[in-house]
Structure 1
Amino acid sequence: MSIFPSLWARVLVAALTVTAVPATFAKTPADQLIVGMSMINLLSLDPAAATGLDVSEINANLYDMLLVQDVAQPDRLVPALAERWEVSEDRKTLTFHLRSGVQFQSGNLLSAEDVAWSLQRVLKLNLALASTWKAYGFTAENAERTLRATDATTFVIELPRPTDPMLVLNTLATSPSAFILDRKKVLEHQKNNDMGAAWLVTHAAGSGAFALNDWRANDVILMSRFDGYWGGPAKLKRIVMRNMTESQSLRLMIERGDLDIAKGMSAPDIEALQKSDKVRTQTLQRGTLYYVALSVKQPMFADARVRKAVRSLIDYQGINQTVMPHYGVINQRPLPLGLAARLPDPGYRLNVEQAKAWLAEAGYPNGFKTTIRVLAEPPFINIASNLQSTLAQAGIEASIITGTGNQIYGAMRERSFDIIVGRGGGGAERHPHSSLRTLVYNPDNRDEAKLTNFQGWRTSFYSPQLNQLIESAEVEPDASKQLAQYREIQVQLDQQVGAILPVSQMTDTVLVYADVVDFQGHTAATTRYKDVYKQR
């Protein structure tokens, strides 16, 4: 979207040139929030195609969802566009009752038809974010039947196959695909039946508290307050997001007061600013895990005793104390911290002598040679270097191979690797199945199955017993029985020595200038700025 050049000039003069002002006078405008963050992975704003934490936060301010996770208690789901919802006794139907009178930023009134069309669109376009919905049995062919409006304020989901309705509700509250679009506005810009896909790469059509004014790729995003917002107007007039990739620049500018919020800073710069009374830190727990993954296609790692040896050659405590501050916190389970179903950590520690004994029992008394693939950026490369050192103590000689995300995770998707230090999991959905489906479940271990969305398949780790337990727990209606099943899965996974060995759970640290009030980052990366203001 374009805005008048004069407005751009006023905003940029006020918000972007304050770096020329001496530090004692540097201040961002009182009615604007200036955010410094990396935008290099921001390729599209289309909710059907946009992946990544940064775009989720942007779209959370441009669009609304039916329901959201409570920012203070993520396990609690609270109303948004839907005032209330019900789940049928047979757990097959979810019915949502929408707020009346909600306006899109275009002036169009929101209806249940917009909700149905938005979710159907995700499946019909079949882009990256359709995968979660397809895991529940939704398809482009059944979308109109299973995701439908029954009247202007009632939206119904008919589950195509048995699953836990709470899992679907959590997806609606967190997935970047679950933002609701202004159907009429989008279709005005449709070309060649693309359902507005080309236009929505750089535009927005939502009902959120802020409207998109302009996005200059790898430069600036400008959003202005939507005064007709159903929840009342935001306290700030404008949000300006600047593309900043250098941690030291972020550190300098937020310390001077040239930025209100800084994201993506390195651990040393964060630690330096923790001593400043001008800035405070806020650490956000994410649902993904840093892990060491082993390919069971490799003969040595097909032996559970060798996997057990590697598990004993990870210095969990050392890595989390020296490498992971501001990146993650120790977690040795496949489930995110805080879930009721998650068992306490099993207490794995670096134990070289025990690892040597298991290697000798497996026929590798002198170790072997292998490779570790890893992104050439912290903390991944740091974890890999630490692992290389501890593996060597038991005779395992591991060469490190660095590369881009496509190269490293591409090798994993092709099942052509030895060891990978990576990150993955269920993300923001507060449900055990989400992580287990991603990290453990592997219903078809054949190469030609190409189940690349399942990281368990990528490792070639195949356990019919665990598959059956995961499938059973997903559809178990009795909450106490389901809880017991999820705990049993963790016990069995420990005994079978899964091929993905969790090391740490991801955290993000955000730096906030002292006069910013009511900024509360969201664990689901759907941080909303509606109630943020400055106290001056």
Structure 2
Amino acid sequence: MKSRLALRACLLAASLLMATAAPARTPADQLVIGVSMNNLLSLDPAAATGNDVVEIACNVYDYLVELDPLDTSRVLPGLAQSWAIAEDGRSITFKLRRGARFHSGHAVSAHDAAWSLQRVLKLNLALATPWKSYGFTAKNVEQAIRAVDDDTLVIELPAPTDPHLVLYTLGTSVSAVVLDRKTVLQHEKNGDMGAAWLTTHAAGSGPFRLDQWRAKELLLMSRFDGYWREPAKLRRVVLRHMTESQSLRLMLGRGDLDIATGMSVPDIEAMKRTPDAEVHAVKRGTLYYVAVSAKDPKFADVRVRQAVLRHLIDFDGINAVVMPHYGVYHQRPVPLGLAATLPEPGYKLDAEAARRLLAEAGHANGFKTTIRVVAESPFTNIATSLQATLAKAGIEASILPGTGNQVYGAMRERNFEIIVGRGGGGAEPHPHSSLRALAYNPDNRDQAKLSNFQGWRTSFSDPRLNELIEKALLQRDERQQTQTYQEVQRVFDTVVPAMQPVSQMVDTVVLHKSVRNFVGHPSATTRLREVYKQR
């Protein structure tokens, strides 16, 4: 009897040990994603910036139109089932589908769509920038963007522009999501149009509803069963704030995560050899760059800019060693893959040429400077490489790491010397998307406060560059437009602006092999409504 009891005890202990050793698995109807939310500061579509919020917004909200992830130049229906561009290119008329409802139960109408876009211009926060570049203002937006009836939305363009670019913005910018006007206004305080409430809440009609967001900790979304297409395949999506690559790798490997983003190159390479993992890479239009402030007397000299930005960056080494899984070699202000993009100019590390230019500019012995950088990979790695190559020409650079808000905040205030950053628009598959951000600066005065133009942040402006960018945007002939955008890039080479692209962003995510139908979007609008698990 005692021997049988002892045997049972041993078997029970063994079974418990096996259960403990068995790999964990996330629930079959939930998607658990490990992601850094350091730069997720607001969920308000009028104020929220960065790719992190885009991937949330496109699942909680609907857009009027969507861009095909496999061919971003192809515009697909969203809440708008059809649209027509006027012959003169000065207006777009949308017909909204009937039957769509917000999470509150309110019917979606063209009035909601018009109010959502009007709100962006009236609040005049970060996401108003692209709309202001099209000529919209707080004063004209109610007339320019209006609902004719519940199903018809008209967008009249106040200034001549490329209407296709406007369509691309409607399909990519967080500012273009359609808000539940009634619900938002129920939470309005002191005329803020619901801004305080929308910082941490949502009022959409998307496939998932926002349940909870705890900054730098957790974000929960649950399936909206009343979704107008059909309910999402997953019941819940969980975003967990994680910044350590080894933790992401460990948790993905043991089944605690379904998707991991922001992993380091060695950990991604290790996961490639793991049978339960798949690596997905998507090229984005965003560019990694090195920027200097032309407001600084040193960098106001074109010879110093040329020395630092063209001859003291190890483009080849950075892209070979630092950028795998983060970016691909690119030195042009127009992203790869567009018809207008010229071949690479081929800038190389050349310390001797840099020293000659610096000597001509009166800096034969170099100088001291600072490099501001977000304290994350690959930014810090690029900054470290730059620090070493600047030293080859006698430039002593101190690295100042910080949060995204600290680094880009200093840039918005035009209070920096050198920055390693990432930006340049690029969400829309159109050359103007990047040029508007990186090279265009129509008013270089401090009081202009064009802080969402990265060209303005660098205090560099070139009249010919501005003129060509404006000219290209208005050309209706596609061939002529492409030629003009190519001329913009040649002028960019000649005038040496204060910002130099180094690499074009690649977004690499690692998936558990059970995840199906995940399609990363080049514009960051990665939708999860069709994602499911197969075990």
Q: TM-score, normalised by structure 1?
A: 0.91
- Kindly state the Cα deviation for residue 152 of structure 1 after the two structures are TM-superposed: 1.6
**Amino acid across the alignment from 1:332:** Q
Q: Deviations over 1:32-60 (max 9, x none)?
A: 21222233433332222222222211121
In structure 2, the partner of 1:68 is 66
1:157 to 1:348, Cα distance in 2 relative to 1, 3 A: same
Measured in 2, the distance between the counterparts of 1:518 and 1:327 equals 23
Structure 1 segment 24-63 matched on structure 2, within 5 A: 24-63=22-61
Q: Does 1:239 align with 2:257?
A: no
Secondary structure class of the residue paired with 2:371: strand
In structure 1, the partner of 2:491 is 492
In structure 2, the partner of 1:426 is 425
Measured in 2, the distance between the counterparts of 1:108 and 1:380 equals 44
Q: Deviations over 1:393-419 (max 9, x none)?
A: 223333333333344333333333332
1:397 to 1:479, Cα distance in 2 relative to 1, 3 A: same
In structure 2, the partner of 1:481 is 480
Measured in 2, the distance between the counterparts of 1:211 and 1:296 equals 45
Contact kept, 8 Å, 2:180 with 2:204, in 1: the verdict is yes
Contact kept, 8 Å, 2:39 with 2:404, in 1: the verdict is no
Measured in 2, the distance between the counterparts of 1:533 and 1:208 equals 17
Measured in 1, the distance between the counterparts of 2:19 and 2:193 equals 47
Contact kept, 8 Å, 1:23 with 1:256, in 2: the verdict is no
In structure 2, the partner of 1:393 is 392
Measured in 2, the distance between the counterparts of 1:264 and 1:323 equals 14
Which region of structure 1 is more displaced relative to structure 2, 181-190 or 284-293?
181-190
1:243 to 1:505, Cα distance in 2 relative to 1, 3 A: same
In structure 2, the partner of 1:370 is 369
**Amino acid across the alignment from 2:72:** P
Measured in 2, the distance between the counterparts of 1:101 and 1:246 equals 44
- Kindly state the Cα deviation for residue 358 of structure 1 after the two structures are TM-superposed: 2.9
In structure 2, the partner of 1:459 is 458
In structure 2, the partner of 1:252 is 250
Measured in 2, the distance between the counterparts of 1:402 and 1:133 equals 32
1:377 to 1:532, Cα distance in 2 relative to 1, 3 A: closer
Measured in 1, the distance between the counterparts of 2:328 and 2:140 equals 41
In structure 2, the partner of 1:283 is 281
Contact kept, 8 Å, 1:380 with 1:421, in 2: the verdict is yes
- Kindly state the Cα deviation for residue 535 of structure 1 after the two structures are TM-superposed: 1.2
Measured in 2, the distance between the counterparts of 1:202 and 1:296 equals 37
Q: Deviations over 1:111-156 (max 9, x none)?
A: 1111111111112222221222122221222121011011221100
**2:213 alignment partner, one of 212, 215, 232:** 215
Which region of structure 1 is more displaced relative to structure 2, 169-178 or 375-384?
375-384
Contact kept, 8 Å, 1:48 with 1:127, in 2: the verdict is yes
Q: Deviations over 1:61-95 (max 9, x none)?
A: 11100111111112221111111111111111111
- Kindly state the Cα deviation for residue 21 of structure 1 after the two structures are TM-superposed: 6.3
In structure 2, the partner of 1:123 is 121
- Kindly state the Cα deviation for residue 363 of structure 1 after the two structures are TM-superposed: 4.0
Which region of structure 1 is more displaced relative to structure 2, 52-61 or 241-250?
241-250
Aligned-pair Cα RMSD in Å: 2.0
**Amino acid across the alignment from 1:488:** E
Secondary structure class of the residue paired with 1:300: helix
In structure 1, the partner of 2:14 is none
In structure 2, the partner of 1:11 is none
1:406 to 1:209, Cα distance in 2 relative to 1, 3 A: closer
1:424 to 1:43, Cα distance in 2 relative to 1, 3 A: closer
Measured in 2, the distance between the counterparts of 1:205 and 1:521 equals 24
Measured in 2, the distance between the counterparts of 1:451 and 1:183 equals 29
**Amino acid across the alignment from 1:447:** D
**Amino acid across the alignment from 1:501:** Q
Unpaired segments ≥5 residues, structure 2: 1-17
Q: Does 1:165 align with 2:163?
A: yes
Q: Deviations over 1:240-273 (max 9, x none)?
A: 2222233222211111111111122222222221
Contact kept, 8 Å, 1:323 with 1:382, in 2: the verdict is yes
Which region of structure 1 is more displaced relative to structure 2, 351-360 or 71-80?
351-360
Contact kept, 8 Å, 2:281 with 2:325, in 1: the verdict is yes
Measured in 1, the distance between the counterparts of 2:404 and 2:41 equals 15
1:243 to 1:402, Cα distance in 2 relative to 1, 3 A: closer
Q: TM-score, normalised by structure 2?
A: 0.92
Measured in 2, the distance between the counterparts of 1:403 and 1:229 equals 41
- Kindly state the Cα deviation for residue 232 of structure 1 after the two structures are TM-superposed: 1.6
Structure 1 segment 210-359 matched on structure 2, within 5 A: 210-310=208-308, 311-359=310-358
Secondary structure class of the residue paired with 2:300: coil
Identity, in percent, stands at 65
In structure 2, the partner of 1:95 is 93
- Kindly state the Cα deviation for residue 530 of structure 1 after the two structures are TM-superposed: 0.8
1:98 to 1:161, Cα distance in 2 relative to 1, 3 A: same
Measured in 1, the distance between the counterparts of 2:67 and 2:452 equals 24
Unpaired segments ≥5 residues, structure 1: 1-19
Measured in 2, the distance between the counterparts of 1:207 and 1:439 equals 34
Secondary structure class of the residue paired with 1:301: helix
In structure 1, the partner of 2:80 is 82
**Amino acid across the alignment from 1:472:** K
Secondary structure class of the residue paired with 1:280: strand
Secondary structure class of the residue paired with 1:75: strand
- Kindly state the Cα deviation for residue 340 of structure 1 after the two structures are TM-superposed: 1.4
**Amino acid across the alignment from 1:257:** G
Contact kept, 8 Å, 2:126 with 2:452, in 1: the verdict is no
Measured in 2, the distance between the counterparts of 1:202 and 1:403 equals 24
**Amino acid across the alignment from 2:257:** L
Which region of structure 1 is more displaced relative to structure 2, 120-129 or 365-374?
365-374
Measured in 1, the distance between the counterparts of 2:103 and 2:400 equals 49
Contact kept, 8 Å, 2:162 with 2:474, in 1: the verdict is yes
- Kindly state the Cα deviation for residue 489 of structure 1 after the two structures are TM-superposed: 0.5
Secondary structure class of the residue paired with 1:74: strand
Contact kept, 8 Å, 2:80 with 2:97, in 1: the verdict is yes
In structure 2, the partner of 1:437 is 436
Measured in 1, the distance between the counterparts of 2:192 and 2:368 equals 50
In structure 2, the partner of 1:153 is 151
Q: Does 1:507 align with 2:499?
A: no
**Amino acid across the alignment from 2:480:** K
Secondary structure class of the residue paired with 1:119: helix
In structure 2, the partner of 1:203 is 201
Which region of structure 1 is more displaced relative to structure 2, 294-303 or 204-213?
294-303
Secondary structure class of the residue paired with 1:420: strand
Measured in 2, the distance between the counterparts of 1:220 and 1:363 equals 53
Measured in 2, the distance between the counterparts of 1:312 and 1:190 equals 53
Which region of structure 1 is more displaced relative to structure 2, 526-535 or 380-389?
380-389
**Amino acid across the alignment from 1:270:** I
